[in-house]
């Protein structure tokens, strides 16, 4: 009996080591996916800030990988761009060489998006076939792949809004595109964090996980507001801080009718609300840090709360600098990168209260 028990324990230990190796491999893969998604969002931000998003007027998921290769092809691509309102009303004197400058941003953004599809789909197929992906995660990961395909369609839906009447894309569709990117990013982060070892430190309070979830949700909402700011060029309306051109609450926030439309289409109101969102997120993370340090000092949860507050503080400082400098490209990109870092860490912090995914061997053993 003792020998049989020893043999069973050895089998369980071997299975645990095998799962540890599999989890490590999946974490590394998802880490690369997250890095690629981060780059994609930054290049997407550069595409927006350089007004390059409408430079490619057709959606060719396969053939679009190959850019123009000679003068004739460049001329053909440029003629397509010359048909849209953005060229006619804003860039009518543009040369082919100047067109190339905006074309490459949009082309790079689409190429990275296609590349992410490959680096996500192929390893997923391999891990699935070889049994390295745990059963509980197979369909969630497949769901992320489907969301990626949907995101491509949303991207074209966004671009198409600026090809007929408008000289830019719809701020609503831009916000949808960015929020979907963040949801895909969050899903990968959530799963990767769930496959990582977790601390046994108790949560500071019984509601800590709810508080962490609320912070993550509000960070996403703040990114949504930032997308509206970008879509309306609202970053150029008030370039003073802490007041908005001398006023704490400007007088022209509700000039459009009906009043609610100002919160989506009035650049001044959108920037004002984005500022309020930043102050709110700062306050939420400050209170979260104080509670964690008071209730559970020297724990992993308290350290995460400090890091989260520090990231939000740095992001706020970057946002203020970006505003005062009137949104130069590098500062705008740094602000967008900071937003994704804050959101990603908020998701990881939230997942940290849920614990590591239970091991399938342990589930089987209990059953």
The DSSP element (H or E) to which 202 belongs, if any, is none
**In this predicted model, what pLDDT tens digit does every residue of 85-123 receive, in sequence order?**
999 999 898 999 999 999 999 999 999 999 999 999 999
**In this predicted model, what pLDDT tens digit does every residue of 278-312 receive, in sequence order?**
999 999 999 999 999 999 998 999 999 999 999 99
pLDDT given at position 199: 83
Query: Considering the chain, what is the average pLDDT of its residues?
Result: 93
Cα–Cα dist 100/64, whole Å:
15
Cα–Cα dist 148/240, whole Å:
38
Taking CA atoms, 268 is separated from 154, 242, 249, in Å, by 27, 15, 11
| Secondary structure of residue 275 in the 3-state scheme | helix
pLDDT given at position 198: 85
**Per the annotation, does 109 bind a ligand?**
no
Q: Give the start-to-end residue ranges of the domains of the chain.
A: 1-196, 199-367
**Per the annotation, does 335 bind a ligand?**
yes
**In this predicted model, what pLDDT tens digit does every residue of 339-349 receive, in sequence order?**
999 999 999 99
128-141: average pLDDT = 95
Identify the band that residue 9 occupies on the pLDDT scale cut at 50, 70 and 90: confident
Identify the band that residue 62 occupies on the pLDDT scale cut at 50, 70 and 90: confident
Of the segments 51-60, 89-98, 130-139, 333-342, which one has the largest average pLDDT value?
Answer: 333-342
Identify the band that residue 167 occupies on the pLDDT scale cut at 50, 70 and 90: confident
Which residue has tokens 């964090």? 193
* Residue 362 reports pLDDT greater than 60: no
The residues, ordered by sequence, that sit 6+ positions from 192 with a Cβ below 8 Å of its Cβ are: 26, 27, 30, 31, 34
> Which of 45, 115, 49, 77 lies closest to 337 in space, CA to CA?
45
Instruction: Let me know how long the chain is.
Output: 367
pTM for the model: 0.93
* Residue 231 reports pLDDT greater than 90: yes
Identify the band that residue 265 occupies on the pLDDT scale cut at 50, 70 and 90: very high
pLDDT given at position 281: 98
């Amino acid at each position: 009996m003792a020998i049989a028990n020893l043999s069973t324990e050895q089998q369980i230990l071997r299975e645990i080591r095998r799962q540890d190796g599999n989890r490590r491999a999946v974490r590394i893969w998802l880490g690369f996916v997250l890095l690629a998604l981060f780059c994609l969002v930054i290049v997407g931000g550069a595409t927006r800030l350089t007004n390059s998003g409408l430079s490619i007027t057709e959606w060719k998921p396969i053939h679009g990988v190959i850019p123009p290769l000679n003068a004739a092809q460049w001329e053909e691509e440029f003629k397509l761009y010359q048909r849209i309102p953005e060229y006619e009303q804003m860039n009518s004197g543009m040369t082919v060489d100047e067109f190339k400058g905006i074309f490459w941003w949009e082309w790079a953004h689409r190429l990275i998006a296609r590349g992410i599809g490959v680096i996500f789909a192929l390893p997923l197929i391999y891990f699935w076939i070889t049994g390295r992906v745990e059963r509980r995660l197979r369909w969630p990961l497949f769901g992320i792949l489907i969301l990626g395909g949907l995101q491509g369609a949303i991207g074209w839906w966004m671009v198409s809004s600026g090809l007929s009447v408008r000289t830019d894309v719809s701020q609503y569709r831009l916000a949808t595109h960015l929020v979907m990117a963040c949801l895909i990013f969050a899903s990968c982060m959530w799963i990767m964090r769930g496959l990582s070892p977790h601390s046994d430190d108790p949560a500071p309070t019984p509601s800590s996980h709810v508080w962490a979830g609320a912070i993550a949700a509000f960070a996403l909402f703040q990114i949504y507001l930032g997308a509206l700011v970008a879509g309306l060029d609202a970053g150029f309306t008030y370039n003073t801080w802490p007041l908005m051109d001398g006023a704490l609450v400007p007088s022209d926030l509700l000039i459009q009718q009906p009043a609610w439309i100002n919160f989506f289409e009035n650049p001044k109101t959108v920037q004002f609300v984005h500022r309020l969102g930043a102050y709110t997120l700062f306050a939420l993370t400050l209170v979260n840090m104080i509670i964690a340090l008071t209730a559970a000092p020297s724990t992993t949860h308290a350290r995460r709360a400090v890091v989260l507050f520090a990231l939000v503080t740095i992001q706020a400082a970057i946002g203020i600098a970006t505003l005062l400098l009137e949104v130069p490209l590098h500062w705008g990109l740094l602000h967008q990168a900071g937003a994704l870092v804050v959101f990603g860490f908020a998701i990881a912090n939230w997942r940290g209260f849920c614990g590591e995914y239970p091991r399938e061997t342990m589930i089987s053993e209990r059953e």
